[in-house]
Structure 1
Amino acid sequence: MSKMSAKECIILARSNAAAGNSSKAFELYLLAFDILPRLKSAYKAKFLTVFTDLLYFLEREGDQNTLFASYKKALTVFPGESVILSEVGKYLLRHHHYLEAWYQFQQILRDDTSSVNADFYLNEVKLSLVQRWHYRMLNDKTRNFSYHAAIRETVESGKDSVLDLGAGTGLLSMYAAKCNPESIVGVEMVAVLSSMAQRLVLDNNFHSIRIVTESSQSLSDSDIGGKKSLLITEMFDVALFGEGIIRSLDHAFKNLLQEKGRVLPIGGEFFIRGIKCDSLMTRYYLNNKIKALLNIPLETNIMLSNDLYDSVDVPLYEDLLYMTDPESVLKIDFNNAKDLETKLSQVVDYNIKLNPLMSGEISTIVGWFNLYLTNNISLTTNPVCENRSTAWQQVIFSNFLPKEVQQNNPFTVTLQLINGLRLGLKTDTEDGMKIKISEYLMRFLNDEKYIETITSSADAAFMYLLQHIPVSDIVIADLSPFPIFGLMMLKGGVKSLSCYAIIKEDQDFIKNVFQAYDIHQDRYEIFNNPNHFLGDKKFHAIYYNIFDPRGNLDRTMLRITHFLEINNLIEGGLFLPYNIKVMGQLIHGPCLDFHNRVYDANTGYMIAHHMNKFQVSINNGLDFMNFKYTALSNPVILGYCRHMKPQIIECPVIKDGIANAVLCWYEIKVSQYTPSIATNRPKSFLDGVAFLADPQVQVAVDKVPDIICCVDDDHSFKVIIDNVAQ
């Protein structure tokens, strides 16, 4: 091989790449570049494609050593190349090597701050390392200062030895240290939080606090310097028990606490209440109008295929109506070691009578808890309490079937505590026919305005195609979460449809709908992977979907859509939607800070410096049903999806204020004959995306700030407020 010319190496490299032998092609390109370095610029793009293919091959083979060796070789040829750094960063992210992945993406952004993909994946790394609920916790003054007061009331100076279970950033340990206990050990199993806690306690001059990086359930008393007299903890999820608090306390009583050891909080209590909320129900149940369109019997319950419960900020829903009195489900004493042990081996039913305050439909059951920190200090997540703790959301039992009730005619619901781990709603297996589908499919179908727009456009598309080809020859592709366009075309008699659904429940649902319309299975195919569209099959009409449910552009679907338009659309065929505008607006959204930036005033200690290193630049998943914000500018067009270009856009200000984000949404024009439909509305199948300003920008009506739109080659984008002129 060493006797070959550079040209011969290139020819063989391209031949091997075409044959799928990326490993051989990679080595041949390296040899060619070594023989004749000036070839690097001409064949850089092809080399990077081969490198990417090789990485995925080696990942499938599990050959990590060769993968990293190839990475180092590639960087030797193209030092600092963003594609090389990005592909390895994504590999590290997929395999949970978060800090190493952070380094890769940070390197790219140091050289090119406009890189959209590096920014996106760096945000994914930060979200994986520190979940956003930590910011809610640390910014919740009610929770923080209630715990602080309870700890001051409980800790006996110079006598108590304290164990902080699930220490997080060490805040509760620092509260305890102010009370001068004999010793303090904080236990935190998440390494990045444990490392942060170690730095924070030193930054705040608490040198007596020891932080242990481990799951408390794997520890013995020797690991923490002997058994402790007081355990403090906040290991509670929205339904109180979901973080395994009972199992952790059981282990602590047996292994980590002294014989008369105490627990703070001393107890908890869980409550439920029946509610009616039409807007909330679009998250969990398919509405009757869409059932009728899909030929589904109205008595069939189409519901989410999710877990036992969902967590929701219930007070944000303005159409919510409380239909019953609140009722206590269970009360637990965290200092009763015997009761905790018993609950771990039982499935306990709690039959609760709910008394309707009025007649009507109960949509679902909401739940919340009280924490009794001491006999004198408590906190609550009760949604009607103005001074509630906002660190936790409320529980929605999404498997509850809507129920008609009569005033003062009580009905019973049953909740189960399953082996002390999860509290769930027990449902009657004979209570009507149930079909479960994914959250994205549910939201898509419950967006009545968008579904109506698609169905009306399908009629026009059908008539257009009939002018050029017999109906029995028409072949359709529909990449939507549910192929509503494709269904309308099948009903009209077209030859075939290709669609896709990732999870089996969605595939079965699509099949059931087609069967209800007597559409034979040989007229459609359902892929379980959108990459299966990338074949030789030609289509007369393609309805694409390039979004993920949280409002981002889906990079995989952008790539597939681009391929289909160029390679699989028959000349003169329809490619729908006709266009999609990206809209942007300067806003101030208080909750964006609450979920992404810690303020030391909310904790009483210096925590922000370390926690805010994990701030993200994008906050997606903003539900327009309940996202509260102040608009500071008129909306502006940032570009068109699939044709985005880097540009600087003037943004007219309509209200003085501090802009902390650019809020983005889409205007979808399904066909050239239908009006655009915006996604920044309640019940839209897409959430909003906020590109966060750091630092925040003071704007005024007499100034016109610029928005910088950055775009990568795959047409993914991000926006930045240009604060230089401010």
Structure 2
Amino acid sequence: MEALAREYITLARQMQTTGSYDKALDHYLLAFEKCAALRNEHVVEFRSMMKKYSLILMSVNKIEEIFCNYSRVLKVFPDSVHFVDDTGRYLFKFGFYKEAWAHFVNACRLDPFYATSENNFNLLKNMLVERWHFRMLNDKIRNEGYRAAIHETIVPIKDTVLDVGTGTGLLALYASECSPVAITACDGSEVMACIANDVTQENGAKQVEVIQKMSTSMNYRDVGGKRSLLITEMFDAGLFGEHVLQTLSHAWEHLINNVGRVIPNKAEFFVIGAQCDFLNRRYQLCSSIKSNLNIPTLFVHGSTQNETYDCEDVHLYGEDIKYITQAESVVKVNFNNHLELQDTLNRSEPYEVQLKATQTGELNSVIGFFNLYLTDTVTLTSDPRSEQRANAWQQAIFFDNLPKQIKEGDAIKLEFLLNSGKLTLLPEYMHPITRISPSTLRFLNDTEYIKMISGSISMASVYLGQVADMDQVTVVDLCPFPMLGLQLLKRGAKSLICSALTNSDKQFFLTVFHANDIPMSKVTVLVGQYWPVEMLKDKYHVVFCNILEPSGEIDLQAQEIALHLRKNHVLPGGLFLPSNLKIMGQIVNSHWLDINNRLYDENVNNYKIAKHLNQYQMSQNFCIDFSHLPYVPLSEPCVMSTWDSEAGVEVLQVPITKEGVGNVLLCWFSIELMENMTEISTNRKNCFMDGMLFITEGETPFRQGDVAYVVRCVDYTGAFKLMMQLEET
């Protein structure tokens, strides 16, 4: 039987080379059925074939065939974490979320150390339930404010209530405490509507009817008649970004009766001018780098992706932000006046604001916040300066204003437009703006790293001088901007191959090369995040790869390309940069991170909600600004791994230096550009990338002198995860 099975394997390989993947699959499965011993021996090549076959089927939209194929495979490999995870990944990709969930749960059960399946599971959780639900529900100020307003407003045994955008159903629970005639709650998300239904039923509010629909797609018949009270919390950092104006306008027309009311009663949006170099560097190219690139007069901003403002936790910035104007109201809206709502929505004239400078400085940031006047006596604010601030909402950053020097007493005019119900700061300048991708902007604005790259040029030139004359040196620089490549070209290097994320980035690269008198004949710019590595066919004197994402994680495809280039495309005696990349870790306690990822029932008046929402909490998170993160370190930073570590599981010992409860492992990178050069950490302010972290399942108490055991899991793809425990297992 084994001989026959091996013949099937040979035939399967032949079918694969001719593109007959369907027949190759048949022959592989026949071989595995005939001789189970061959499964482990050939599983890697079989899985590779399955991936190629699935990509072909996906390209011709034969999705059902993909699932049919994996169903057959799982009958042969029922306990293969790889095939279970692959199946889950395709189910996730094509919108079969419940089925994907089941497969990821199974994959994590089959191999708790397999990082890839846990990463995929985290992505699914993040997509199904947005992270802001956790911080919002843990915000006692917000919760108690809404509860007080609801109790003040509802007339028992008389009012009928509609909770729009109910989320977990908390506001509907508050309404049920006041004995209205009826309560209907709606949410457009299938997952949130399901959670709300489970939450209201378990907490005894059986009169609450949950409807899985957007309110704007409903009429009074859907909710059992027009309602006398509408409650909503559909607000983002910019107040109107969740389309609350359109939603309430529709509700007044179709869902609210003639004597109806809305909570909140009113809302008001404010702006304040600030000096914050940290924020400005996130959105605009700083002057020192423009001078370095020889483009001092160019206005270079990050691309906006059609967003008019960004959202940040400005209240955490402390001394890094200085408010230098008074706060001024931009717009105030009465949600209980339908005509005023319509006028606000249809307004074409801008709102004019005069910000009065309270001190001299550079106005380089415009911060927005709001007040919700829930009733005449209950107000919530997102003002970052207020100790009574509700932390459910971030602050809005209007990022396209040009920095200006102001003096105390100056009046600064700003104009805002409501575009489709979303606030936009109108440009106050006539200069053309060059747009580049945010990752390229952040890379260039990391002046410390750029300085280190520029400082390595002399050492690199001396090193390369032993191998070739400078006019013969060929360079590949795949960083978000090829600073090393540019400097070597200025020293006379023969050629540069670089990579631009977008066509806009490519145009910016060419502008910079032209400004530095670099002949375009020396430069090749590849465009796109990924491109076939086969495009690089030669060997080069210098190869500089960046495998780090702005989010804080390793780009696994870029890592694969980097490893390939280091092995196959560096000339003897040539340079590969960086020479080393260490993954650093530190055990900390962070209440802030905890409440952004785990709900506590004590924060929602002891209603039983946590168990329903916490199944969506994640074990890993990204895009964390460590420089403004509130946390207490419990250990010193330790080396957890290197970027090219071999696959496997290893237990690391981390000494505890401070007593406390460990609930998070912060992770960042230490970069050594060239051997014997000083390393640079990515855990610093204004770095080109954020941090990532791993969150423990529970809280682990430590005493000073304890040893924590960190389990490092590295997959063959390079994906990794860290798990923390007090005792070695």
Check whether TM > 0.5: yes
User: C-alpha offsets along residues 445-468 of structure 1, whole Å, 9 cap, x if unaligned?
Assistant: 111111111122233223322322
What CA deviation, in whole Å up to 9, does each residue of 1:140-184 have, x standing for no partner?
A: 111000000000000000000000010110000000000000000
8 A Cα contact 1:370 1:379, kept in partner: yes
Partner of 2:707: 704
Pairwise CA distance, 1:31 = 3.3
Deviation at 1:34, TM superposition (A): 3.9
Which 10-residue stretch deviates more, 603-612 or 147-156?
603-612
Task: Work out the CA distance in 2 between the residues paired with 1:723 and 1:241.
Answer: 46
* Partner of residue 661 from structure 2, selected from 658, 663, 666: 658
Q: Partner of 1:15 in structure 2?
A: 14
Change in CA separation of 1:603 and 1:404 when aligned onto 2, cut-off 3 Å: same
Distance 1:208 1:551 in 2: 46
Given that 1:558 and 1:714 are in contact with CA atoms closer than 8 Å, whether structure 2 keeps it comes out as no
For 2:24 and 2:452, how far apart are their aligned partners in 1? 49
- Structure 2: unaligned runs, 5 residues or longer: none
> In the alignment, is the contact (CA less than 8 A) between 1:534 and 1:564 conserved in 2?
no
> Comparing 32-41 with 522-531, which one deviates more in the overlay?
32-41
1:624 paired to 2:623? no
Aligned AA for 2:128?
L
Q: How far apart, CA to CA, are the structure 2 residues paired with 1:41 and 1:319?
A: 56
Q: How well do the aligned residues superpose, as a CA RMSD in angstroms?
A: 1.9
Superposed, 1:686-697 pairs within 5 Å as: 686-697=689-700
Of 183-192 and 715-724, deviating more is 715-724
Assess if the C-alpha contact under 8 Å between 2:139 and 2:603 holds in 1: yes
Within 5 Å, give how 1:295-444 maps onto structure 2: 295-298=294-297, 300-306=299-305, 307-317=307-317, 318-419=319-420, 421-428=421-428, 430=430, 432-444=431-443
Specify the code of the residue in structure 2 equivalent to 1:563. H
The one-letter amino acid paired with 1:624 is F
Task: Determine which of 713, 718, 721 is the counterpart of 1:718.
Answer: 721
Deviation at 1:725, TM superposition (A): 5.7
Confirm or deny: 8 A CA contact 1:663 1:691 kept in the other structure: yes
Residues 494-531 of structure 1, C-alpha deviation per residue, up to 9 Å, x if partnerless?
22222222222222211211121222333222222433
Task: Give the AA of the match of 2:121.
Answer: L
**Aligned residue type for 2:422:** R
Q: What do the CA deviations read for 1:515-565 (whole angstroms, capped 9, x no partner)?
A: 212223332222224333334333222111111111111121122222222
Structure 2 SS opposite 1:477 = strand
Query: In the alignment, which residue of structure 2 is the partner of 1:533?
Result: 533
Match of 1:174 in 2: 173
Q: Give the residue type in structure 1 aligned to 2:454.
A: T
How many angstroms apart in 1 are the aligned matches of 2:314 and 2:472? 51
Deviation at 1:321, TM superposition (A): 1.0
Structure 1 portions without partners, runs of 5+:
none
Q: Secondary structure at the match of 1:365?
A: strand
* Contact 2:186–2:212 (CA under 8 A) maintained in structure 1: yes
Q: Partner of 1:548: helix, strand, or coil?
A: coil
Aligned ranges for residues 586-601 of structure 1 at < 5 Å? 586-601=587-602
Three-state SS of the structure 2 residue aligned to 1:239 is coil
**Contact 2:634–2:657 (8 Å) recurs in 1:** yes
Q: Percent identity of the aligned residues? A: 37
| 2:454 and 2:484 in contact (8 A); partners too | yes
- Kindly provide the amino acid, as one letter, of the partner of residue 664 in structure 2: A
The aligned counterpart of 1:573 is 574
Indicate conservation of the 8 Å contact 2:467/2:574, yes or no. no
- Superposed counterparts of 1:551-562, under 5 Å: 551-562=552-563
Cα deviations across residues 232-266 of structure 1 (Å, max 9, x unaligned)? 10111111111011111111111111122111111
Report how many aligned residue pairs link the two structures: 722
Which stretch of the first structure deviates more once superposed, 538-547 or 5-14? 5-14
Question: Is the 2:237–2:395 Cα contact (8 Å) retained in structure 1?
Answer: yes
User: Counterpart of 2:343 in 1: which secondary structure?
Assistant: helix
Q: Find out whether 1:39 has 2:42 as its counterpart.
A: no
Contact 1:592–1:619 (Cα < 8 Å) also in 2:
no
Cα-to-partner distance string for 1:612-636 (whole Å, 9 max, x where unaligned): 1111001221212211211101221
The CA distance in 2 between the partners of 1:675 and 1:187, in whole Å, is 57
Q: Letter of the aligned partner of 1:717 in structure 2?
A: F
Whether the 8 Å contact between 2:480 and 2:501 is mirrored in structure 1 is no
Evaluate the alpha carbon distance shift between residue 507 and residue 100 of structure 1 in structure 2; reply closer, same or farther with a 3 A threshold. Answer: farther
Give the letter aligned to residue 623 of structure 2. G
Assess if the C-alpha contact under 8 Å between 2:113 and 2:649 holds in 1: no
**Structure 2 contact 437–501 (Cα < 8 Å) conserved:** no
Q: Deviations over 1:648-677 (max 9, x none)?
A: 111111110000111111110000131101
Shift of 1:7: 4.0
Amino acid at match of 1:642: D
Q: Deviations over 1:270-316 (max 9, x none)?
A: 11111101122221111111111111124534444342101111121
Q: Sort the Cα spacing of 1:404 and 1:304 in 2 relative to 1 into closer, same or farther, 3 A.
A: farther
Residues 1:461 and 1:92: Cα distance change in structure 2 (over 3 Å): farther
| Partner of residue 57, structure 1 | 56
- Which one of 667, 670, 673 corresponds to residue 676 of structure 2? 673
CA distance in structure 2 between the aligned counterparts of 1:303 and 1:610, rounded to whole angstroms? 39
CA distance in 2, matches of 1:590, 1:507: 43
- SS in structure 1 at match of 2:686: coil
1:523 pairs with 2:522: yes
* Per-residue deviation, residues 385-430 of structure 1 (Å, max 9, x unmatched): 10011000111100111111222121211011123x2011000351
Shift of 1:36: 4.3
Q: Secondary structure in 2 aligned to 1:625? A: helix
Partner of 1:369, secondary structure, is strand
Aligned partner of residue 479 in structure 2, secondary structure: coil
One-letter identity of the residue aligned with 2:310: D
CA distance in 2, matches of 1:609, 1:568: 53
Give 2:604's aligned residue. 603
Asked if 1 retains the 8 angstrom alpha-carbon contact of 2:285 and 2:299, the reply is: no
Structure 1 residue 20: deviation in Å? 4.8
Kindly state the Cα deviation for residue 203 of structure 1 after the two structures are TM-superposed: 0.9
Q: Structure 2: how far apart are the matches of 1:512 and 1:384?
A: 42
Question: What SS class does the counterpart of residue 633 from structure 1 fall into?
Answer: coil
> Contact 1:453 / 1:674 at 8 angstroms: preserved in 2?
no
Is this contact kept in 2: 1:368–1:395, CA < 8 A? yes
Partners of 1:585 and 1:186 in 2: how far apart? 43
Q: Is the 8 A contact 1:348 1:418 kept in 2?
A: no
Indicate whether 1:646 and 2:649 are aligned. Answer: yes
Residues 634, 34 of structure 1: alpha-carbon distance in 2 compared, 3 angstrom cutoff = same
Secondary structure at 2:346 match in 1: coil
Inter-partner Cα distance in structure 2 for 1:676 and 1:365: 36
Q: 1:394/1:635 Cα in 2 relative to 1: closer, same or farther (>3 Å)?
A: same
**Which segment is superposed worse, 208-217 or 346-355?**
346-355
The whole-number CA distance in structure 1 between the counterparts of 2:348 and 2:118 is: 46
Distance in 1, Cα, partners of 2:486 & 2:11: 47
C-alpha distance 112-510 of structure 1, shift in aligned 2 (>3 A): same
Do the aligned partners of 1:98 and 1:128 also contact (CA within 8 Å) in 2? no
**Partner SS for 2:136:** helix
Please give the TM-score of this superposition, normalised by the length of structure 1: 0.96
- Equivalent residue runs for 1:35-114 within 5 Å: 35-114=34-113
Q: Report the Cα offset of residue 574 of structure 1.
A: 1.6
Which amino acid is the alignment partner of residue 698 of structure 1?
A: P
Match for residue 637 of structure 1?
A: 639
Deviations 1:700-721 (A, max 9, x none): 1132121111111122211111
Give the Å deviation of 1:8.
4.2
Cα distance in 1, alignment partners of residues 467 and 186 from structure 2: 70
Deviation of the 1:19 alpha carbon: 4.8
Assess, with a 3 A threshold, how the Cα gap between structure 1 residues 559 and 725 changes in structure 2: closer, same or farther: closer
Distance 1:94 1:301 in 2: 36
C-alpha separation between the residues in 2 aligned to 1:32 and 1:299? 64
> 3-state SS of the aligned residue for 1:224?
coil
